[in-house]
Amino acid sequence: MSGFGNEFSSEDPRCPGSLPEGQNNPQVSPYGLYAEQLSGSAFTCPRPANKRSWLYRILPSVKHKPFTSVPCGDLTENWNEVEPDPNQLRWLPFTIPKATEKKVDFVAGLHTVCGAGDAKSRNGIGVHVYTCNTSMVDRCFNNSDGDFLIVPQQGEILITTEFGKMMVEPNEICVIQQGMCFSVDVFGETRGYILEVYGAHFELPDLGPIGANGLANPRDFLCPVAWYEDRKVPTGYTVINKYQGKLFACQQDFSPFNVVAWHGNYTPYKYNLKNFMVINCVAFDHADPSIFTVLTAKSTRPGVAIADFVIFPPRWGVADHTFRPPYYHRNCMSEFMGLIKGHYEAKEEGFQPGGASLHSIMTPHGPDVDCFEKNSTAELKPERVAEGTMAFMFESSFSMAVTKWGLHTCQKLDKNYYQCWEPLRSHFNPNWKPGKQ
């Protein structure tokens, strides 16, 4: 179903009429189902921010054995494992384990790279990668801490949720909001990135003078239709819950994907990045990358995001008398970048699909020497930029700390990254004179 934040309703066609008529919680629901509300906001939030859905399920989610603590692996919210590192950081493509050596599913393949804040106080973010090779079997994941924005880079993923199924391919994204159970099927060696946000939900950025249309249009977001399975699991079905930065597991004897019908505006959803309507400069100068914002999670400060999801899609470059690639920059925000495919325009070598970079708050960054020299003398004719490429950025107002896994354990940190700027030389000419304009 299409739309962003709409009031949706869906019922599995195998059970027509399974949505109650005229009320949410009848004394007896159709087909003998249980009514269960999933609240994504406080009851008293203003209507534009009020998020909830009603699920009509074969058994309620409360029917499970007690949760017990389980190992977190490389998933963490400990931002003080290692000393802070303000350097420009770049990672080579993160290793995907071979299925012949070890079977790793989505949850076991989660690794935290960096983050900040605290899930207990409902304010912060985590940046993770997932590297896996096998599907989740009789296991699901439920994040009590926040929302997952998932960016597949290699291999499509089939996500089964309580609301239905979504196939998500590279160059698409999906958002699984807080509290929603989901399971991930993969079809080979699979890798991607995750932006986790505590305490806020993603929304479309305000368009201001752009007007009523542009950037990511609401109609291009898709949410699943109802699908259920009435499946007993006598050997035990495992629900893994991320709670206050730790993992817990409980057992139940049935599949949690037993929702026959649902209605509401709190759903998982997906979006194809090729549908992004790109805004760009058509006269001179390089516009700020905020014009490429797909989704934002707002903070309480006007105009300042907990996190923005920004992309750098294929587009036309036409600016006159302008250095067209991204400018040299020091930023009061943290910038974590990943590459889904292709070559990023500011660094065509070294920054590879499946890798990443982090430019922390006020850490200088910008084009490497080859990019600068090439584009300082290039003929400024209209040209396609980033053709066949899709880079993205998780930008945050938080000063993100890198984990021990990110700095050491993954063994993918490119310790020579700084060298891409070393050959930059001075072009200063004290005898330069202004020419005729």
Q: Would you list which residues are annotated within the binding site for Fe cation?
A: 329, 335, 365
Nearest partner of 270 among 184, 103, 150, judged by Cα = 150
Nearest partner of 172 among 377, 75, 311, judged by Cα = 311
Nearest partner of 114 among 350, 394, 418, 417, judged by Cα = 394
Give me the active site residues, please.
286
C-alpha–C-alpha distance, residues 172 and 184, integer Å: 15
Q: What are phi and psi of 350, to 5 degrees?
A: 95, -40
In the block, which residue shows the tokens 């003998």? Answer: 32
What separation, in Å, do the N-terminal and C-terminal C-alpha atoms of the chain show? Answer: 55
398, 124 contact by CB (below 8 A): yes
Residue 72 in tokens: 């977190």
Give the strand pairing for 110-118 and 123-132. antiparallel
What kind and span of H or E run contains 373? helix 369-377
SS3 172: strand
CA-based Rg of the chain, rounded to a whole angstrom? 23
Residue 339 in tokens: 């590459």
C-alpha–C-alpha distance, residues 267 and 178, integer Å: 10
What kind and span of H or E run contains 377? helix 369-377
Reported as half-sphere exposure (CB side, CA atoms, 13 A), residue 320 has a value of 2
SS3 150: strand
Give the strand pairing for 390-396 and 259-264. unpaired
The DSSP code sequence of 302-345 is TT-EEEEEEEE-SEEE--BSS--SPPPB--SSEEEEEEEES--T
Burial class (CB in 10 A: 0-12, 13-18, 19+), 52: middle
Q: Annotated binding site for homogentisate, which residues?
A: 344, 365
